Amino acid sequence: MNRWRFTLVLVLGLSGMLSAGSFDRNCVPCHRKEGVSLRKTFMNALLIYSGEHNMKAGLKYFLRHPSKETSVMGEEYFKNHRLMPPSTLSDRELEEALDEYWERYKVIGRLR
């Protein structure tokens, strides 16, 4: 009985990891570890880029070439947090992660 329970937990755990999107696999763990709010980052990016297409393009560029000058976070942010390393995700994975990020935090259609 214990062997079946272990196998079931293992299979469910692995299937959950495999079904997680690029955003959940590649972005969330590091942001959680660093204590960086993905919602706040999203809102800052939305204020700067003011739309889905520009925001995704700007974030994609930043993720490939991170610098304080192209960051959506202010100077104060870098007193407590480090600049992330360049992303090693493929273009497809990066675009998938940005699509998931947009869908999760967008405000359009959610305001009443």
Buried b (16+ CB within 10 A) or exposed e, 25-42: bbbbeeeeeeebeeeebb
CA dihedral sign, ordered 23, 25, 27, 29? positive
Residue matched to tokens 């407590």? 80
Under a CB-based contact definition with an 8 Å cutoff, are residues 60 and 77 in contact?
Answer: no
Find the farthest-apart pair of alpha carbons in the chain and give their distance in angstroms, rounded: 58
- Report yes or no on 70 lying in a domain: yes
Query: For the chain, what is the domain count?
Result: 1
- Report yes or no on 74 lying in a domain: yes
Tally Cβ neighbours within 10 Å of residue 4: 8
Buried b (16+ CB within 10 A) or exposed e, 98-108: bebbbeebeee
What pTM, to 2 d.p., does this model score? Answer: 0.76
pLDDT tens for the chain, residues 1 to 112: 566 665 545 445 544 444 579 999 999 999 999 999 999 999 999 999 999 999 999 999 999 999 999 999 988 999 999 999 999 999 999 999 999 999 999 987 665 5
Please tell me the predicted confidence (pLDDT) of residue 23: 94
Please tell me the predicted confidence (pLDDT) of residue 20: 78
- Report yes or no on 110 lying in a domain: no
- Report yes or no on 16 lying in a domain: no
Under a CB-based contact definition with an 8 Å cutoff, are residues 39 and 105 in contact?
Answer: yes
Range of the domain at 39: 21-105
* Radius of gyration for the chain, computed over Cα atoms and rounded to the nearest angstrom: 17
- Report yes or no on 9 lying in a domain: no
- Report yes or no on 4 lying in a domain: no
Please tell me the predicted confidence (pLDDT) of residue 5: 62
